[in-house]
Each structure stands twice: as structure tokens, then as C-alpha cells.
Structure 1
Amino acid sequence: MIGRTVSARSRIVGWMLLLLGAALAVPTFGITIVWQAELDRQVDARLLSEADKLRTFARTSRDPYTGERFTTGAALLTAFMAVHRPEHNSAFFSVVDGRADRRSPGPAPARLDRDPTVVALMARTADTRIRWLDSPAGKVRYGVVPVQMAGDHADTRLVLLSFRDQELRQERHMARLLLASGCFALVVAGLASWLVAGRVLAPIRLVRQTAERISETDLSQRLPVRGSDDVAALAETFNHMLDRLSGAFTAQRRFLDEVAHELRTPITVLRGHLELMDEDAGSRHRQTRALLFDELDRMRRIVDDLLLLARADAPRLPHPRPDQPDRPRGRRGGQGAGAGAAALGRGRGRRRPCAPGRTASHPGADAARGQRGQPHW
């Protein structure tokens, strides 16, 4: 049902927009996924790099107040965060014995060091694996680096945070720009494809309009053939089909016309000889003569019907003029061909009676008479 209600032009434009939309959407979403995966890799590498910086700092740095090696983990982390500032959308804070101690300077998307739940989670973490954390600022990638100094029994940890969703803002903005430009391209492509499809399908519409104008009485319509593409081949094939149809209809009319003319001649001759016969002969001869006249009338009506069929659908319908008018039925005392046939059948048993007053006529000719309004002779 869809193919019947939606035009070919609309289907072509719809499929073109569908393919173009898929061609734009797949790379856009693919690029977004690749960006996200690459960002996650960069975030993990950044956190690992900060952990390596802390280890290097613990081996090489000295307490700025005493000039000696750091004796507590809290002092080491305080000095480290004072020297190493986190990158954009990142933050550090230290946890000492299950409580937040110090944090890195600078703004952060969210102060997770003030969240007791987050601090308790960091204090319970026993390994250095990088994990995900949900926060008010979105997804956060974090890692915990335990710090243990000789002689320091405090549980000290450095928490490294990277706010991944904040990092994705630029990528998401680029993805929205790509989607907006793709939608604009779809609108432009839809308008262009609508115009192009209309020009491509114009010869098809011309074929349909020409076919609607063509009838049996007018097969002179032809399609203009331009170029050598598939549409031109279709128009040429359609014209050849019209030529064959025109020849077939012409041959049919010629055949019917010739058959009708050939049959009228012997019928006229037979009628003339019967009229020359003596009407005062015996009753059997009169009945035979009347029956023959009735059958000749019926045969002449069939011939007239053939002529009418041959000329009914022609551009100019000729008015049939029979050679001789029908004999009045009153001269036989109101008896038709059926009565004469019945009488003859009782005498000789050679003819089957037919219904009184019934005459044979071609159904197509009767329909043609009804349409043209021609009298029935």
C-alpha cells in the first residue's frame, strides 16, 4: 500500500536522504567514540605520569625548612602539591588516617575532598588501579597512590582526580557542530534531490500523460525522443508499441469492412431472386419464401453489425446505408421468421423453430449502436 500512495519522486528523495543521513551520522558517532576512547587513554596516562612524578619527587627532594629528607608522608605530599600543579580539569588531595588533609591549589570542577563518602572510599582503596567515580561534575577518573615513609606509621595517600566529563565538553561541542552541519546538508540535499528527481522523472510523467490521451480512435500520439539514455530508449519503445497497436487496429477494421462487403453481395443477389419468384405458388413455397426472406434479413443485420463494428470507433463514423430496406413484416400476416421456421419444420423436420420475432445480432454491435445512437435497420 505504501508504494501506491507515495510517489516515485518522494521515494527517491527519501532513500537519498536516508543514505546521506547514514553517511553523515556514522562518521559523526564514530568520531565521537574515538575521541572519547582517546581522551580516556590520555587521562589514564596523565594520572600515571603524576604518580611517577611523586615517586621521583620522593627520591630526590628535601624538606625546604630542614634540608633533610622528608620524614612524614603528609609533609612530602604537602611539598609535592605546592610544587606540582595539576593540569586543567584535574585535582589532587591527600588523605591522612582516613581524613582529608591538603588539596592542590587552584579551582576544581568539584571539591571532592569535602565529601566524606569520597574520602572514606579513597581511604579504603588498597591498590593503585585507576577507577571510575560518579560526582556532581560528572564522571571522574581517579587513582590512589599510598605513601609510606620510614618511621611514619600514619596511613597517607595521594588522590589523583581527572574530571573526564569536563574534558569531553570540547569534543561534544564539536560533535554538535557536526550534527548541525549534517542536518543543514540534509535539507540542502533534500531540496536538490527533489529538483533532480523531478527532472529525471519528467519523461516518465510524459509517458503516463500520453498513455492517458491515447484511445483506440486516436493512436497518433507519440513521445519525443531526446538523447540516447534509458529514458530515451523507453520513449522509443513506447512509440514502437503504439505503431504496432495502430497497425493492428487498422488491419482489424479493414478485415471487418472487407468481410461485410463480401457478404452483402450474395445476400443481395439471393434477395433479388426470391423477390422475382411468384408469390401465388403453393403454400409450402410461400412458407419457404417467407422463411428465406426472414433469414436473409437476419444475415443482413449480421453484415450491418460487422460494418458497424469496423467503423464505430473510427474518427468519423459513416452512416450505414443498407442496399435494400427490410421487407415489411406485415406482408406475411404478422408472422416472423420463427413462425415460418416452425411451419416448415412440421412439414419436413429439417429446421428447429426459434423464438418468434428473435433476430441474431452481434453484442458488440448492439453496444456500438447504443453508444453512437444509430438506428437499427
Structure 2
Amino acid sequence: MTEFKELVFSGVQPTGNLHLGNYLGAIRKFVALQEGNDCIYCVVDLHSLTAQLVHDDLPGQIRSIAAAFIASGIDPKKHIVFNQSAVPQHAELAWIFNCVARIGWMNRMTQFKDKAGKDRENASLGLLAYPSLMAADILVYRGTHVPVGDDQKQHLELARDIAMKFNLDYQEHIRRAGRGIDITVGDEPVHAYFPMVEPLIEGPAPRVMSLRDGTKKMSKSDPSDLSRINLLDDEEAISKKIRKAKTDPDGLPSEVEGLKGRPEADNLVGIYAALADKTKTEVLAEFGGQQFSVFKPALVDLAVQVLSPITGEMRRLMDDTSHIDAILRNGGERARARAEATMKDVRDIIGFLY
């Protein structure tokens, strides 16, 4: 082996209903990345415990994410779709990475600071170690590329740091075990077992904001259901939410510059642009100078046109849980085989007897 085989990995937490922001920001990218790539897409149910320890219906939430993957166009035969807890090697490698990573690295993670808030002493150890598990998720398959948004870039940088420290700490063990390849990181030659993961940023990611407050991200945790368009919303619900979406009294500008300082207008134009695969400039060339009373119905029609087939297929899949479960089982078996091949190498490199 002269180079690492390219592999795309990503995952979504099963915490509540998927919404338009999840689809435009992540799932639609997953679908596009299937072409010409080896892809593994995971429902990260172990990670979900850091957000909410006790779930009323975790199996249902896992199935819902898997259904969204498939309904959006991910092919579970050509690629792998599974739930994280079905592959215990994720947790095994995460423990090793907990020992590789430094507490100072974890304490610097912006997402930990945000989620732990002022009561950091009461945060779970799992929340602090979340990035170690994320690194294990990727590297247990020796993944090389991960589609990421702004909020995960720091975690991906940490995954690179963990991989690099493991490679350096165990460099001679890796060589003696006959594993790994010679790579150059910066100007430094390293005999590496784990690759340096690269972010996949496919153009500017649409940042979908709340329909009730254009300064906040669209979120599953927002108490108002009117703040988001869920992937399981029907045509009537989509229409109601867009009609009630917060706007300002001015009409749409003719140029993108005119959206500055108007977060709600910017958000709705951005949603239209993302759904139509257009730029905001192109959307404003069509609707600039018009009122929201004209623009909102057009956005409703477009959102229904794009989302209704996905919603219908999701509902069909979730009505037959045996089919979803079979896909997850098959994906779990295939993922376990790959993950175990990595862990056999890692155990040999470290010196575990097994």
C-alpha cells in the first residue's frame, strides 16, 4: 500500500425530528458524495447520549434517521448505512483515543464550552470526550474525508491531532508490526497507521436559520415547532410555517448587499436558493422588488416540490420497520468487518494479547 484508500465517513445524531437544515446542510451532501466515493453513513446513537441520556423512543429515532438517508437517495447496497452502537469497535478505539488525547485539547473545544455552559463541573464525561469518539468513528475505518459544517471543523482538527499523536507515539511499533505507510506531514516524514483526515467542503454550505428568529440556527431543540420545517411535515404544515415565518416590512432587494442587517429575509432567500440549486443573486434577480406576499407562496411551492417525495418515502419506510432494521443489520455487519480489521492492527501495534 503506497497511499491510504479514500473513504468518506459521516454521521447524524438520532435526537428528535430531522429538519430542513439537516437535509440541506448534511444529508443532501451525503447523497452527492456517493458518486465515485466509498461512503459510510452512520446513525451516531452513542453520541446522542451526550445530548440526552434517556430517550423515550431511541429505536424509533434511529430508524427515522436511516429512513431519511435512504429516502433522500443514499444507496445502502452500494454504501454502508448502520447505527454506531451495532459496531462495538467504535467504543473500543474511542477508549484508546481517550488515552492518546490530552485534557487540555478537550477543554479547548468550543462546542464543549457552549454545551456545558457555566456549570462545567456538572457536564458528563461523555460530553467532554465526545471528540475522541468522533475521531474513532472516522478512523476505525481509516476514513480519509469527512463532510463538515463550521460547527464540526474544530473536532475534525482534533481528530487529525489524535491520529498524528498515535502515529508518532507508536511509529516504531507500527513499523515492526508491518502496518502503515510512509507519509509526510508538513516537512516531517512519519510511518503512519491512521490517515490525516481531510474536511470535505462542497461550496458554501447553506446555513439554515430559525423561521422565527433569523439570528438562530434552525434546531430540533427549539420549543416552537413553527421555527423549523421537519422532514416529516406534510404540505399543509410546510405552507403554514413558511406563511408564518418572521419577515420585515420591506420588500426583497434586487442585490445580495440589500440583505445585510435583514436576517429573516436573508434566511428565506437562502432557503429558496438552496432548494433551487441557485445563488442568492439569481433568486433576487427573479424576486427582487417584490413583497413577501409574492415570495412566500413561491417558496412554499418549491419546498413542497423538493421535500414531498422524501417525506412520502420516509413514511413508507417507517411503516415497515422490518425493512429499515434489515438495512441497518446488514450495514452493521459490513461495518463491523471493516472496523475489526482496523482493531486487529491497532491491538497488534499497541501490544494487546487477544
Q: TM-score range by the shorter chain?
A: under 0.3
TM-score between both structures, scaled by the size of structure 2: 0.18
- Select the structure that is richer in helix: 1
TM-score between both structures, scaled by the size of structure 1: 0.17
Choose 1 or 2 for highest CA Rg.
Answer: 1
